[in-house]
Chains A and B, each alone.
Chain A
Amino acid sequence: MKKKVVFLVFALVLIAVPIYIIFSSEAILEKGHQHKIHLEGYDPFDPFRGKYLMLNYDFSTPCEEGMKEGDEGFAVLEKDETGFSHFAMVTFQKPNHSDYVKCTVKYVYDNEAEIEVANIGKYFINESKAKRAEKILIKAVQTNLDDAYATIRVLDGECRLEEVYVNGKTLKSYFGK
């Protein structure tokens, strides 16, 4: 009996972990503020999760005095007049509005920090579409920077990649869906 209870609790914990990730991600995607950010991409491979496009953003951002490599901070997102967002400042203190994400400082040079933001850097894609998607993305980035962007959602410092757009269409729509 005791063994059955232990097994049941363990099985529930195992199932609870993916459920938690799904619910927290859904909450961010539904309730989070949307931001459009310029990007460029290429096509590597993840041994566990398959093909993805590595999305690069402009992660070079002014930072508060005293920030150094390895510090955890908050990157504030600001929208410009064209509707695109960019990382405007890295602070130690949590801002009193919702448009910020948690980040790690990679290095600091001349009060400019190069930051790392989790969960927006990889766009996982079907193995048969990855190569073509990369070509579409690179072409768009080379033609006009505004033609390729990602939309992300941010909520309470957490963020998720929502979609990748090329020439006003979602990247997936290039493949018939």
Chain B
Amino acid sequence: MGFATVTSEFKLSVSSDMKNLAVIADFVAAVAEKLGLDDDETFALQMAVDEACSNVMEHAYRGRTDGKLSLRVEAVDDEVVITLHDQGEPFDPHSVPRPDISAPLQERHNGGLGLYLMEKLMDSVEWEFDPEQGNTLTMRKRRGKSTV
């Protein structure tokens, strides 16, 4: 049958203050422990979530500290699914060029490294924008198949 089974769900809501990045990291570490993820999987989740939340704080909320970030982590079948929701400015991932990491340092542009890392650490990274609901980022990582 085509039904996905959600076995666990964890939620956190914080304001868009960068000081909350440490709170978010602790939350992800605690969830990873409850889900029995290994060190590599925990590292990948923590880093991808940190980069995603920093991106929202810097770009969607443009440094404002009173925006809202809602984070949900679910174990769905053999995947961990992370959903990050904000009501900041629309985010278009295609507007951000990814760095060419084979290019010499002197020739690289400075942006896009955070998105590059998220895409490298997770199996899938997708953004959606709805004029009423705001930005929703969904990141998926299959368990037991660490790429880092």
A and B held together in a complex: no
